Amino acid sequence: MEVDAKEKTLKAKQKEYAVCHSAVENQRSMIQDEQRKKHELKSSVEEDTALIDSRKREFQKLQLSIAGKVEEAERDRVALELARKRVAALSVGMVVDKSGERVSLKKQLMDTRKAISGIEIENARINTKTRVRFTYADPEPNFDRSRVKGVVADLIQLKDPKFATAVETAAGGGLYNVVIDTAETGKLLLKKGQLEHRVTLIPLNKILSSVIPKRVIERGKSLVKIFYSLPLINLFPFSGKTHVSSKIC
């Protein structure tokens, strides 16, 4: 009897254990399922986040593209409007300037010539500055730089600036020659002066002055009539301190 009771108790415990074990296994399986679902959900969230970021970048690119198209459309609209104005202006013998205003062909031609003249003057000014600059190295120790008088254009001064163009035309490249005291100085400079570019040197002791005959002056005046016809030397003020200039002219 006692054995039967123990067997019954054992079977009951075994059954209870089996139930508990089954419950534990079910819980373990459920936990594993939840962990798997959590992992899948995490992966899904990461994928969705990456997709959202990608969509954001695409949207930003699209916004930039749209903005560019809007600007391009505005430029095209302005260009079209200007083209229409030009066509309308041409139909009445006029043109449209940069600001979109109608102007006559004559005025535009004058403005263009004025602009070209300004550019030419500026280029001439730059070229003149470059040519007037004369640099050299001392050709010998303790060289006396006063032996080099300078560029002709720097040594002369007009009485009246209105004669500047006439003087430049008459003198030409001679305005950019370099005046020195003697031919010996010239030899030293050419040999050891390390000159940056080729120049014409004018030794003062080699200059021979001459006087223009009066009949030549009168003949010139008769040819140009109402315009000026003067000897070049008359356009410069000379004094004892400007003997170099007087010799050049």
Strand-strand pairing, 102-104 and 148-151: unpaired
Distance in angstroms (rounded) separating the CA atoms of residues 87 and 82: 9
pLDDT tens per residue, range 103-129: 566 666 677 778 877 776 666 666 655
Q: Is the pTM of this model over 0.95?
A: no
Parallel/antiparallel/unpaired status of strands 148-151 and 201-203: unpaired
Instruction: Give the pLDDT score at 142.
Output: 92
Query: Is residue 96 scored above 70 in pLDDT?
Result: no
pLDDT of residue 242: 42
Give the distance, in angstroms, between the CA of residue 35 and the centroid of all CA atoms in the same chain. Answer: 66
pLDDT of residue 77: 82
Which pLDDT tens digit goes with each residue over 222-238?
Answer: 776 645 666 666 666 65
At 147 the pLDDT is: 92
Q: How far apart are CA 161 and CA 68, in angstroms?
A: 55
What would the mean pLDDT of 43-63 be, rounded to a whole number?
Answer: 83
Q: Is the pLDDT of residue 183 over 70?
A: yes
Which of 31-35, 75-79, 137-141 ranks highest by mean pLDDT?
137-141
Comparison of pLDDT for 81 and 136, the residue scoring more: 136
Side chain identity, residue 162: K
Q: CB count, 10 Å around CB of 189?
A: 23
Q: 7-46: b or e for each residue (b if 16 or more CB lie within 10 Å)? A: eeeeeeeeeeeeeeeeeeeeeeeeeeeeeeeeeeeeeeee
Residue-level pLDDT at 240: 41
Strands 178-180 and 148-151: antiparallel
**pLDDT number for residue 15:** 79
**DSSP helix/strand/coil, 174:** helix
Residue 125 to residue 139: CA distance in whole angstroms: 31
Transcribe 164-184 into DSSP letters.
Answer: HHHHHHHHGGGGG-EEES-HH
Whether the per-residue pLDDT at 1 is higher than 90: the answer is no
CA 219, distance to chain mean position in Å, is 52
**Distance of alpha carbon 169 from alpha carbon 113, whole angstroms:** 21
- Mean pLDDT of all residues in 191-212: 82
| 8 Å CB contact between 171 and 151 | no
pLDDT for 91 beyond 50: yes
| pLDDT exceeds 70 at position 173 | yes
pLDDT at 241: 39
Q: Is the pLDDT of residue 219 over 90?
A: no
- Taking CB atoms within 8 Å and a gap of at least 24, the contacts of 110-116 are none
Check residue 203 and give its pLDDT: 92
- pLDDT value at 217 more than 80: no
Average model confidence (pLDDT) across the chain: 75
What whole-number distance in Å separates Cα of residue 217 and Cα of residue 229? Answer: 7
pLDDT band at 239 (very low <50, low <70, confident <90, very high): very low
